[in-house]
Amino acid sequence: MSDPVTTHWAGNYLAILQEGRWEYVSRVRGIGAAVLLALDAAADGEADGDHVILVEQYRVPLKADCIEFPAGLVGDETAGEGAVEAARRELEEETGYRAGRIENLGRFCSSPGMTSETFTLLKATALEKVGDGGGTDHENITVHRVALDGVADFVEAKRAEGCVIDVRILALLGATWLAGR
| Cα–Cα dist 55/168, whole Å | 12
**Higher-confidence residue: 181 or 128?**
128
User: pTM for the whole thing?
Assistant: 0.90
Structure confidence by residue, pLDDT tens digits, 51-64: 999 999 999 999 99
Residue 116 neighbours by CB distance under 10 Å: 13
Contact (Cβ atoms closer than 8 angstroms) between residue 111 and residue 25? no
Sketch out the chain's domains with CATH numbers. 1-29 (no CATH), 31-179 (3.90.79.10)
Predicted local distance difference test score (pLDDT) of residue 28: 87
Q: Is the pLDDT of residue 68 over 90?
A: yes
Q: Is the pLDDT of residue 175 over 70?
A: no
**Going by C-beta distance under 8 Å and a sequence separation of 6 or more, which residues neighbour residue 56?**
65, 66, 67, 68, 141, 142, 144, 158, 163
| Cα–Cα dist 47/60, whole Å | 37
Distances (CA, A) of 19 to 4, 6, 25, 104, 112: 6, 6, 11, 32, 14
**Going by C-beta distance under 8 Å and a sequence separation of 6 or more, which residues neighbour residue 68?**
54, 55, 56, 57, 166, 168, 169
Q: Is the pLDDT of residue 162 over 90?
A: yes
- Residue 111 has what DSSP assignment? -
Q: Band the pLDDT of 177: cuts 50, 70, 90.
A: low
